[in-house]
Structure 1
Amino acid sequence: MSTGFSILTREATMMLQLSGKVVIASAGMQADRKALHKLLQARHVMYVHNHGRPMALSATAQLLSNTLYYKRFFPFYTFNLCAGLDEQGRGAVYNYDAIGSYERSGYFCQGSGKELIQPVLDNQLKAPSPLTLPAPASTLTALPLEQALDLVKDAFVSAGERDIYTGDKVEILIITKEGVRRDELQLKLD
């Protein structure tokens, strides 16, 4: 977490794990991120008490959209991703703007390194040029876990070399049928 050229802390997480299959990642203002995560956590706990099970990914995605839209006239200054496994066990990422509009994709990114990371992901996971293929490739890819993890790490290493706000460490949450596993990647060790 930083402001200007000052690093306030190296240990601030930008992610909220709501269940064993759903994680929300938020970039933007720290106070708004914490308020949003606290509100979403409370709504998820209420859902679990009322229904006896955790909220599904699609329901969480809609809850986040409704929450952001409700605050559209004085929005949370956050840019969010909701990721996890859907009801069929497939991975999905929902990308949001500040007022709750969203779309489902197989991958997406937010934050200060977005402009550096997104082209790398597009190049590796989609057709490199719309001129080479008549229709763009699906964003739902079937990469093996280790290959996907290597791609994410390479993209963050590349962004970390060019963007001072990307930070010194990347927190990676790997969502599988067995649950959520945390991994870390150290950047800028020189």
Structure 2
Amino acid sequence: MALEDICGFKDTPVHRKWFPASHFEDTDRSFHMTDFGLRRLKKSGRNSGIPLQFFIPTLPNSVPFNPRPSLPFSPSNHSVTVSRPFPLSHGTTTLGFIFQGGVIAAADSRASAGGLVACPAVHKITPIHSHLVVTSSGSGADCMLWERILAREIRLYQLRHRRCLSICGTAKLLSFMLHPFKGTDVCVALTLCGWDKEVGPKLIYVCSDGARLNGDIFSVGSGSPYAYGVLDRELRWSLSKEEAISLAREAVFRATHRDAYSGNKVDIFHITAQGWISNCCSLEILFLLPGCLFRHEHRGRCGILQP
């Protein structure tokens, strides 16, 4: 699709069918679900005929729920939803805030499934492009899927229009794509932390029911009440870069002590007008000696690319 625009084939039937205009730049204009994809989404249960057919899961509205199928592997019951043997609760601690030096995003790295630590080294902060990162909380599979969809759509928009989509436009696009799955088992809570050339630092929270919230500080996850306790006491606009990074690290660190579903590393990203920079401080590699505490710190990669 993007190659059609780059090569100049903008008059093709495919382009006229799916890309009549830019829908997501005007942040003040409301969207009607039938204008872009919902009308076509209802055409088929397999989502055939829309560009996201390989990425968006089908809506579970055609198959009734049967927790005890008689023959789960028979051809007639191959699509029946099977209930989980026990409920899987999950939690995390992610946060983001704006200060005079840009935007700070921080998160722990523990993936949990009930009382099980499924993985101790999960990256819950995902770079979308050079000036935008996303913190994720909720179901791990759902978050990874929608982050990939969002990164793909942003990249295609950049190829078509020769510029990055604004943070507000990105939040509107993500909210619009998630809204049809409201009321389903999709569990996604993403915080968009980025920098716009026109408006500067932006922080927008988007969840799986399609809600969008603008703010200067967000903390999401089971450890968020403990992180808010630290942030509300120490956060101020005049923080220096070092103080902001230390505050984010301290907030997630305190949450890991009280929340059983949060722990291990703390990943920190700093987003400015020049791009994002990751600073990783491992809480797992702590060497306790009599009277000493050594913490391993590692300065990560940079995301300074031309949009």
TMscore range, shorter length: 0.7 to 0.9
After TM superposition, give the deviation of residue 17 of structure 1 in Å: 1.1
The answer to whether the aligner puts 1:104 opposite 2:210 as a matched pair is: no
Of 263, 266, 275, 1:170 maps to 266
Q: Which amino acid aligns with 1:47?
A: Y
Identity of aligned residues (%): 26
Separation of aligned partners in 1, 2:148 and 2:219? 22
Q: CA 1:81–1:45 in structure 2 vs 1: closer, same or farther (change >3 Å)?
A: same
**Over residues 157-188 of structure 1, what are the superposed CA-to-partner deviations in whole Å (9 max), with x where a residue is unaligned?**
21111112112101111111221111112225
CA distance in 2 between partners of 1:163 and 1:76 (Å) = 23
Q: Secondary structure at the match of 2:120?
A: coil
Q: In the alignment, which residue of structure 1 is the partner of 2:201?
A: 91
After TM superposition, the structure 1 stretch with the greater mean CA deviation from structure 2, 142-151 or 29-38, is 142-151
Alignment of 1:28-177 (within 5 A): 28-74=138-184, 76-88=186-198, 90-125=200-235, 141-177=237-273
Three-state SS of the structure 1 residue aligned to 2:220 is coil
Distance 1:21 1:89 in 2: 13
Question: 1:41 Cα deviation (Å)?
Answer: 1.6
Post-superposition Cα deviations, 1:111-148, rounded to whole Å, max 9, x if no partner, equal: 2211111232123237xxxxxxxxxxxxxx34221111
The structure 1 segments of at least 4 consecutive aligned residues displaced by more than 3 Å after TM superposition are: none
- The equivalent of 1:131 in structure 2 is none
In structure 1, runs of 5+ residues without a counterpart are 127-140
Is this contact kept in 1: 2:171–2:206, CA < 8 A? no
Task: Give me the whole-angstrom Cα distance separating, in 1, the residues matched to 2:270 and 2:139.
Answer: 25
Q: For residues 144 and 88 of structure 1, what CA distance do their matches in structure 2 show?
A: 23
**Scaled by the length of structure 2, what TM-score is found?**
0.53
Corresponding residue SS for 1:165: coil
Counterpart code for 1:154? E
Name the SS of the counterpart of 1:173 in structure 2.
Answer: strand
**Distance in structure 2 (CA, Å) of the matches to 1:157 and 1:76:** 28
Amino acid paired to 1:34? M
Question: In 2, are the aligned partners of 1:57 and 1:87 still within 8 Å (CA)?
Answer: no
The residue number in structure 2 matching 1:17 is 127
Aligned-pair CA distance for 1:75: 5.6
Amino acid at match of 2:255: A
| Runs of 5+ unmatched residues, structure 2 | 1-110, 289-307
2:192–2:203 CA contact under 8 A, matched in 1: yes
Residue matched to 1:179: 275
SS of structure 2 residue aligned to 1:108:
strand
Matched to 2:131, the amino acid is K
Distance 1:142 1:85, change over 3 A: farther
Contact 2:129 2:151 in 1 (8 A): no
Higher alpha-carbon Rg: 2
